[in-house]
Structure 1
Amino acid sequence: MHPELFEIPFINLTVRSFGVMMVIGFLAGFFLLGRLGRKITSNPQLITNLALYCLIAGVVGARVFYAVHHFEDLQRSWVSVFAIWHGGLEFYGGVIFAVPVIVLYTRHFKLPIRQCLDIVAIALMLGLSFGRLGCFLNGCCFGKPTDLPWAVHFPYNSFAYFSQINANPERNRPAPRLKLPQDEYSSFVDTDGTLYPKPFEELTEQQKFEVTKGKYRCLRIHPTQLYSSANSAILCLLLYLFWRISQKAAGSANSRQLLIRPGQTFAMAFVLYGVTRFMLEYLRDDNPFEYAWWAVYKGGTVSQNLSIYLVVIGVILMAIFQLAKPNAPSTKNAVNNKNRQSKITNRK
């Protein structure tokens, strides 16, 4: 965990690792999207703008979902709602906001919607793999305690540590995992019994030893952020290979073959990510359990329930895209011709 990379001198601006990894993830996804977009249009500006609009919509949606999900924590300080550099972005919210933007954008510029959704899905997985590394450096999205050899310790006062020293009724945990003496280590205790530990600098040398190497050290936990990063990278590779096979088969005599039609890569991303995210949630220890009316899996997390919906939507999209006719502008030349005609009309 290393949430702060460095501080810019003179202006005292702290550069946070989560924000840096977000930028790297966007640039990586942007580069890949540009490369794949050459199969759709030779006008790179269209793909560049699409990536930018997806980024804006995705970040807004991801933060809105996080704010709704963690409303009680954020309502103590409404300014913190906008502090995305501290972490707190939910992937599903970003997808829900970004997909309509992609559809509207591609319809406006007469780009093939399904082909664009395919390449966006691949680029998204690459960007997400870097974003999850940012989660690891930031300390959010942490896992459950484990004795596995690759388990990790997070530092005192990290998100994981704060969770372990407090009970969590939202996860059916009536007692803290790590019993930290309140009279020695607490800064204050909230009305609901939540313990807020002292800053590390205010601890005695003995206390510092206890919370870093002694009996009050953070329990070893699953590095779920790294699991998620590896999962996204693997999905990116699988989706890319699937997309390549689909591209090669699209013009063949077997163009009606199952799962090679435009849009199938996008639908496959829904299914694969939904299944893997559902499984990874069992190893995480940060998301509350959900019992609302909309939850299919009562007692599962919000993300697990959304994963179920995502898989169902993905399967439905597979069927729809398989039966649908190919996009009219299904080739790069057709798209470019339409764009040229539009420019000529505008000049007249």
Structure 2
Amino acid sequence: MYPELIKLPFIDVTVKSYGLMMVVGFVAAVTVIRRLSRSFTPDPQLITNAALYSLIGGVVGARLFYVIHYFEQFKGHWLGVFKIWHGGLELLGGVILAISIIFLYLVYHKLPMRRYLDVLAVGLLMALVFGRVGCFLNGCCWGKPTTLPWGVRFPYDSLAYNSQINADPQRNRLEPHLNLPREGYFGFTAENGKWYPKAFAELTEEQKYEVTKGKYRCLPVHPTQLYSSAVGGLSCLLCYLFWRRGKKAEKAARANKFLCRPGQTFALMFIVYGISRFSIEFLRDDNPLEYGSWTLRAIYVIYKGGTVSQNLGIYLVLLGLVLMAVFQKLPADRITPAAEK
């Protein structure tokens, strides 16, 4: 786990791994979108502008979704909502708001919406590949304990480690995964009742050995972040091939062929992402299951007892199927003469 990659000399600024991978993913997504949209974009600068707006919206949406997801911990500490440098972003919320902003941007500029949304889908999935690597380096979005040979161990006092030493009723875990004794290791108790160990530097040499190589080291867990990254890459490839199939059908004057219409790649993105997110959530150990926060009750309609993300994943699949059917019946977006040059 490397939440901080490097510290810049003289200015005492650290480069966060999650932030860096978000930037890399953003650049990769913009590059892909600009390249795929060359045949119908009247001005490439439109892509860059839309990307910048979506980046801002993505950060706001990711933070907002985190606050909704963990609403209880912000009660009485409302200024903490704005302290994003302390961590607390959820990728799904960022994607939802970023797409919404791009949708409004395309409407405002009267651009061929479904064609842009198709290439946006490929770009977003490309960004997901890098974003989830950032999650792995940051140590968030960890998985459940596993005995599989590729299970990874996170370090002492990491998010995954601190989760394992506590019971978690919100995930139906009444006993901790790791029985770290409080005596000699206790650091403090948080307001939510969970306890956290003292800093690694404060441990004795014997204790340091026990938490790094001995019986109190972190249990190996599913690298769910890397699972998500790999699935994101496969989904990106699938959507690209699906989009290219539609382009070839259009050039061959077979645009009415089944599943070759503009906008259907965008719909496919919702379907594949929703299925993958719903599935991988079964292996994750960070998101709470259904609980009584008033901000979340309306979401748990389809899959009670699951996580917020699992329910949203189901909604995304249903939305994708509806869009797929609707776009099949709509005529192709009109390309402006400027874009055809």
Deviations 1:44-87 (A, max 9, x none): 11111111111111221111001111123345755553444554
User: 2:231 — aligned with what?
Assistant: 231
One-letter amino acid of the structure 1 residue matched with residue 142 of structure 2 = F
* Residue of structure 1 equivalent to 2:325: 319
Given that 1:86 and 1:138 are in contact with CA atoms closer than 8 Å, whether structure 2 keeps it comes out as: no
Residue of structure 2 equivalent to 1:205: 205
Structure 2 unaligned runs (5+)? 292-296
Provide the C-alpha distance between the structure 1 equivalents of 2:76 and 2:219, rounded to a whole number of angstroms.
Answer: 28
Deviations 1:218-265 (Å, cap 9, x if unpaired)? 000000011011111111111111101111102334221111100000
C-alpha displacement of 1:200: 0.5
Residue 153 of structure 2 corresponds to 153
Please tell me whether the aligned partners of residues 43 and 336 of structure 1 are also in contact (alpha carbons under 8 angstroms).
Answer: no
1:130-209 paired onto structure 2 within 5 Å: 130-190=130-190, 192-209=192-209
Contact 2:50 2:102 in 1 (8 A): yes
Give 2:337's aligned residue.
Answer: 333
Give the drift of 1:100: 2.6
Question: Which residue pairs with 2:304 in the alignment?
Answer: 298
Work out the CA distance in 1 between the residues paired with 2:88 and 2:129.
16
Once superposed, what is the RMSD of the aligned Cα atoms?
1.8
* 8 Å contact kept, 1:135–1:225: yes
Which residue of 2 is the match for residue 126 of structure 1? 126
> Within 2, Cα distance between the matches of 1:172 and 1:210?
28
Rounded Cα–Cα distance in structure 1 between residues aligned with 2:174 and 2:140: 22
Contact 2:2/2:137 (<8 A) preserved: yes
User: Could you say what secondary structure the match of 2:184 adopts?
Assistant: helix
Q: Distance in 2 between matches of 1:334 and 1:92?
A: 35
Change in 2 beyond 3 A, CA 1:131/1:294: closer
Identical amino acids, percent of aligned pairs: 58
Q: Deviations over 1:25-61 (max 9, x none)?
A: 1111111111112022141111111111111112211
Tell me if structure 1 keeps the 8 A contact 2:5–2:14: yes
2:39 and 2:339 in contact (8 A); partners too: no
Corresponding residue number in structure 2 for 1:342 = none
Number of positions where the alignment pairs a residue of Structure 1 with one of Structure 2 = 335
- Residue type matched to 2:140 in 1? C
Alpha-carbon distance in 1 for matches of 2:333, 2:190: 58
TM-score (structure 2 length as normaliser): 0.93
- Displacement of 1:183: 1.9
Please say if residues 168 and 176 of structure 2, whose CA atoms lie closer than 8 Å, have aligned partners that are also in contact: yes
> What amino acid does structure 2 have at the position aligned with 1:207?
Q
Instruction: Check 1:277–1:10 CA distance in 2 against 1; reply closer, same or farther (3 A cut).
Output: same
Q: Report SS of the residue matched to 1:314.
A: helix
Distance 1:182 1:81 in 2: 31
Distance in structure 1 (CA, Å) of the matches to 2:192 and 2:264: 49
Q: Which residue of 1 aligns with 2:34?
A: 34
CA distance, structure 1, for counterparts of residue 246 and residue 63 of structure 2? 34
Counterpart code for 2:317: V
Q: Give the whole-Å Cα distance in 2 for the aligned partners of 1:126 and 1:76.
A: 38
Determine if the alignment matches structure 1 residue 14 to structure 2 residue 20. no
User: Contact 1:18 / 1:137 at 8 angstroms: preserved in 2?
Assistant: yes
The aligned amino acid for 1:219 is L
Partner of 1:99: 99
> Cα–Cα, structure 1 residues 89 and 236, in superposed 2: closer, same or farther, change >3 Å?
same
How far does residue 93 in structure 1 lie from its aligned partner after superposition? 1.4
Per the alignment, residue 263 of structure 1 pairs with: 263
Query: Alignment partner of 2:183: what SS?
Result: helix
- Please identify which structure carries the higher helix content: 1
Counterpart of 2:331, as a letter, is K
**Contact 1:274–1:308 under 8 Å retained in 2:** yes
Residue 293 of structure 1 deviates from its aligned partner by 4.3
SS of the aligned residue for 1:183 comes to coil
Q: 1:24 corresponds to which letter in structure 2? A: V
The Cα shift of 1:206 comes to 0.6
Q: 1:54 to 1:184 in 2, by over 3 A?
A: same
The more displaced of 111-120 and 8-17 is: 8-17
Provide Cα deviations, 1:166-201, integer angstroms capped at 9, x if missing partner.
111111111111111112101122465311110100
CA distance in 1, matches of 2:49, 2:167: 46
Aligned residue for 2:294? none
Q: What are the ranges of 5 or more consecutive residues in structure 1 without an aligned counterpart?
A: 338-348
TM-score (norm: length of structure 1): 0.91
